[in-house]
Amino acid sequence: MSTTGVDLGKVWAPGLLLIILVLLATLSLYAPAYTVILATSILMYIVLTVSWAIFSGPTGYISLASAAFFGVGIYTSAILGMALPFPVVVGIGGVASFMVAFLVGALTLRLRGIYFAIFTFGLVELIKHFLLWYEINMTGTRGRFVVVVDNDTIYYAMLTVLVATLLTAYFIRRSRYGLALQSIGEYEEAAAHIGVNVTAVKVITFAISGLFMGAAGAIMATRWTYVDPYIAFNPLLAFMPVLMAIFGGVGGLHGPVLGAAVFAYLEEVLITRFPYYYMLLFGIVLVVVVLYLPNGLVGLIQEWRKRVPGGQHANT
Amino acid sequence: MIVTILDVLIAGLLLGGLYALIAMGLSLQYGVARVLNISHGEFIMLGALTTWTLVTAFDINPLVSLVIVGPVIFAVGFVIHRTLFKRLLASSASPGIFESKSMLASFGLLFIIQNIASIGWGPEIRGYSYLAFPVHLAGAVFGANRLVTLGFATVIGLAFYLFVARTRMGKAIRAAAQDPATAGLMGVNINQVLALCFGLGAAMAGIAGVLISMSYPVHVTMGLEYTIIAIIVVVLGGLGSIPGSFIGGFILGLIGSIVTYIDPGLTLIAYYLIFILLLLVRPTGIMGK
């Protein structure tokens, strides 16, 4: 890559980010209500995907527990929404998910590879079925109503959580701590040998990723007005962050953001245009992405950039 | 009291036979072909709904459907492995990467199969009546269809075990399960064997689907629950161990039947709890090394 490209990148990247942030922060002033609602969904997916990537990106542990942490946030909001102000509820939702993730992480992070993936998926189903059983047998009702919050507030709450998620993800990557995570992903035994407290690093990172998912869940609950265990613990949301991150490219931070943004928009278009075939198309996209996009959109862009200017020089 | 215990035990065996068959199919796909096939249950659903159509629209005996569904779903599974998973295997740098990629791809398959089926069959719950007369068994009463289910599940399970343990092809399968690279060097056509295993696994799911449709109502979204049960049984029995899956199926069936007797709403929760405890205490399962 040429040096001018790097210099340009250094100047342009923060500027571009600032412009995007200003555009997003003023969205409700110039955009119609529909755009604000759509943007909220997109931001939600970015929060979920980036917080998934905080843990699973560097370590390579495929977590399917996103749906569980998101659902814990949703139920917190449903239970406390009437009693407490909105920001407090969102905070508690995040903390509740943090604690669940901490507990789950401490119990299970010694499982490797596919076992961890199966376990986390089992967790989603376990919580869902337990809540169903509890609601039917103990409270005698299924589902709950959630206090309604207006769309602009939901949007700005989600934007705040997103900024917090991105900043956390960025600083974790840049810190010693991020390096420790990276080394765990590359060779866990070696990481332990050079003095990384493997268990503590994994558990805390897993809990942090749960924190943001829970907060996002607590916010989204107020938009759905009615939730039951099937809505709150939707297995699709266990796979969505994984798919979106892979779609974008798991390596860095921009991959998951790009993947989530593009995919969430695509989802909206597919749902409105082809409501009956949406899930079918989703499956096809999933298979095609796994087959043909091993490094995601970011990998595709990099390859394309490598090929276009001065590509011949690199080869000779 | 004794009659109740017998009731629960026999119901557990009947359920366990089905679980064993489903889990043996998944054990082949995961233990040998290394594909944690999340779409396993969709092949069960295909078998069940195809049988429903054959029985209600063409008046074909469900046992005849067994002979039709088995080979057809085998062919589908074989082709899926030859096209999709073979490609993934070639492009994956390590077995670990292949495992996670193939799991995600099989999740995509789940959506594809389920939604194509839902376009064809719709969301209704289907069922037909076959051998629905009561049979008295040591004081307990059961539908004849369930006994047929148990009989076929056991016979197919044992036949399959003999195939893997005694035949030349079975030896190739076991070799591929232990070490695919070395098996390839010893002259095993590894791609053929892996595709065969995936196809056989799918066929067993399809056959289980036919048997399920004889005694339970069936619908398009029935698959995932069976997939999860199959995963639990496979982990319980020990990954890659076919006798382990067979025995594990009966154990889980018994547990399921005991819990159902106490509170039907808790059955799935009990399965997950067993699964989670198992993963934490003994992730290699009862027959694992």
**CATH number where B37 lies:** 1.10.3470
Domain of residue B9, residue span = 2-281
Residue B221 burial class via C-beta count within 10 angstroms: exposed 0-12, middle 13-18, buried 19 and up: middle
Q: How far apart are the first and last CA of chain A?
A: 15
Half-sphere exposure of A231 (CA within 13 A, CB side): 19
Write the CB contacts of A151 (distance below 8 Å, at least 6 apart in sequence): A33, A36, A37, A40, A223
B-contacting residues in A 96-125 (Cβ below 8 Å): 107-108, 111, 113-115, 117-119, 122-123, 125
- From chain A, the residues in CB contact with B83 under 8 A are none
- Mean pLDDT score of chain A, rounded to an integer? 84
What is the distance in angstroms between the Cα of A78 and the nearest Cα belonging to chain B? 23
Q: How far apart are CA B188 and CA B71, in angstroms?
A: 23
Percentage of chain B beyond pLDDT 90 is: 18
The reply to whether B201 falls in a domain is yes
Q: How far apart are CA A221 and CA A215, in angstroms?
A: 10
Chain A contact for B165 (CB, 8 A cutoff):
no
Q: How far apart are CA A204 and CA A222, in angstroms?
A: 28
The reply to whether A16 falls in a domain is no
Chain A residue nearest residue B266, CA to CA: A133
The reply to whether B69 falls in a domain is yes
Q: Which residue among A107, A137, A286 places its CB closest to the CB of B265?
A: A137
Query: Does the structure show a pLDDT above 60 at A123?
Result: yes
Tell me the C-alpha to C-alpha distance, in Å, between residue B114 and each of A134, A270, B43, B222, B238.
30, 18, 9, 10, 29
What is the distance in angstroms between the Cα of A251 and the nearest Cα belonging to chain B? 14
A-contacting residues in B 40-79 (Cβ below 8 Å): none
The reply to whether B288 falls in a domain is no
**Radius of gyration of chain A from its Cα atoms, rounded to whole angstroms:** 20
Give the model's pLDDT for residue A7: 55
Decide if B110 contacts A121 (C-beta within 8 A): no
- From chain B, the residues in CB contact with A132 under 8 A are 265
Handedness of CA A284, B42, A134, B256 (dihedral sign): negative
Q: Which residue among A108, A118, A280 places its CB closest to the CB of B111?
A: A280
**Looking at residues A221-225, what average pLDDT do you find?**
85
Strand partners, B218: B126
Selection from A140, A145, A291 nearest residue A226 by Cα: A145
Half-sphere exposure of A84 (CA within 13 A, CB side): 14
Which helix (H) or strand (E) segment is A16 a member of? helix A3-25
Tokens 């997103």 found at: A162
Looking at the structure of chain B, the number of domains it has is 1
Q: Predicted confidence band at A10 (pLDDT cuts at 50, 70, 90)?
A: low
What distance lies between CA A59 and its chain's CA centroid? Answer: 16
More confident residue, B125 or A69: A69
Q: Which residue among B103, B112, B224 places its CB closest to the CB of A284?
A: B112
Strand partners, B224: none
Residue A292, both tokens: 């043909």
State the helix-helix crossing angle for A176-186 and A151-174, rounded to 10 degrees. 80
The reply to whether A83 falls in a domain is yes
Residue A117, both tokens: 């993936």
The reply to whether A315 falls in a domain is no
Q: How far apart are CA A294 and CA A307, in angstroms?
A: 18
What is the distance in angstroms between the Cα of B70 and the nearest Cα belonging to chain A? 25
The string of DSSP codes covering chain B is -HHHHHHHHHHHHHHHHHHHHHHHHHHIIIIIT----TTHHHHHHHHHHHHHHHHHHH---HHHHHHHHHHHHHHHHHHHIIIIIHHHHHH-SSHHHHHHHHHHHHHHHHHHHHHHHHHHH-S--B---SS--EEEETTEEEEHHHHHHHHHHHHHHHHHHHHHHHSHHHHHHHHHHH-HHHHHHTT--HHHHHHHHHHHHHHHHHHHHHHHHHHS-B-GGGHHHHHHHHHHHHHHH-TT-HHHHHHHHHHHHHHHHHHHHH-GGGHHHHHHHHHHHHHHH-TT-SS--
Tokens 């990099």 found at: A302
- From chain B, the residues in CB contact with A137 under 8 A are 263, 265
The reply to whether A2 falls in a domain is no
Beta strand extents in A86-243 (DSSP E only): 144-145, 226-227
Decide if B121 contacts A260 (C-beta within 8 A): no
Give the model's pLDDT for residue A166: 92
| Report for A207-221, A301-315, B145-159: range of highest mean pLDDT | A207-221
Q: What length does chain A have?
A: 316
The reply to whether B80 falls in a domain is yes
C-alpha triplet B258, B263, B264: angle, nearest 5°: 85
Chain B contact for A309 (CB, 8 A cutoff):
no
Which helix (H) or strand (E) segment is A42 a member of? helix A33-59
Q: Which residue among B88, B103, B116 places its CB closest to the CB of A280?
A: B116
The reply to whether A225 falls in a domain is yes
Write the CB contacts of A104 (distance below 8 Å, at least 6 apart in sequence): A65, A68, A120, A123, A206
Domain of residue A112, residue span = 28-310
Q: How far apart are CA B60 and CA B47, in angstroms?
A: 14
- From chain A, the residues in CB contact with B269 under 8 A are 126, 129-130, 133
The reply to whether A3 falls in a domain is no
What is the tens place of the pLDDT at every residue in B196-246?
A: 999 999 999 999 999 888 888 888 888 888 888 898 898 888 877 788 888
Provide the whole-model pTM. 0.82
Residue B98, both tokens: 């292949």
Half-sphere exposure of A139 (CA within 13 A, CB side): 12
Residues of chain B with pLDDT under 50: none
The reply to whether B155 falls in a domain is yes
Query: Does the structure show a pLDDT above 70 at A6?
Result: no
Selection from A157, B251, A289 nearest residue B259 by Cα: B251
Q: Which residue among B88, B103, B283 places its CB closest to the CB of A111?
A: B283
Looking at the structure of chain A, the number of domains it has is 1
Tokens 């949007």 found at: A155
Q: How far apart are CA A244 and CA A81, in angstroms?
A: 30
Selection from B27, B149, B53, B30 nearest residue B99 by Cα: B30
Q: Which residue among B107, B116, B275 places its CB closest to the CB of A122?
A: B275
Give the model's pLDDT for residue A45: 94
Strand partners, B135: B142
